[in-house]
Amino acid sequence: MHIQFAELPVFDQDRAKAFYTRHFACKVTADEKMGDSGWRWIELKFPDAVTNLHFVRRADDTPGAEPVLVLVDDDVEATIAALKAGGVEIITEPQEAPWQPGRTVAEFRDSEGNRMVIGSQ
């Protein structure tokens, strides 16, 4: 058993899709019209991941205060440096996680204002 997708609140689906395909090399696995609302069913797949990312409608583009998702990466420092070079807002630089010695974590804000954590294995 595994989780099919994690829901990520977004205000602008195209902007979010561009952010995740550009910065994380996500592949679009679904992008289908959903009725007449103008909203689409979009799922993205991270390289080597089982769980996809699915966009759900967010009421506005006010930045979130709490982390939404935790991404796991082999090289947190390099990923944060690449995000920073790409103009992404970095909230906290890579540092040891106070709750798990030996694990590196950092936080960034995605195109939709979601606060995201990236951590080492």
User: Could you give the domains of the chain?
Assistant: 5-119 (3.10.180.10)
Residue 21: enclosing H or E segment and its boundaries?
Answer: helix 13-24
pLDDT higher than threshold 90 for residue 121: no
**Residue 96 confidence class, pLDDT cut points 50, 70, 90:** very high
pLDDT higher than threshold 90 for residue 64: no
pLDDT given for residue 104 in this prediction: 98
- Predicted model pTM: 0.91
**Residue 95 confidence class, pLDDT cut points 50, 70, 90:** very high
pLDDT digits (tens, 9 = 90+) for 101-111: 999 999 999 99
d(CA 99, CA 5): 26
pLDDT given for residue 36 in this prediction: 87
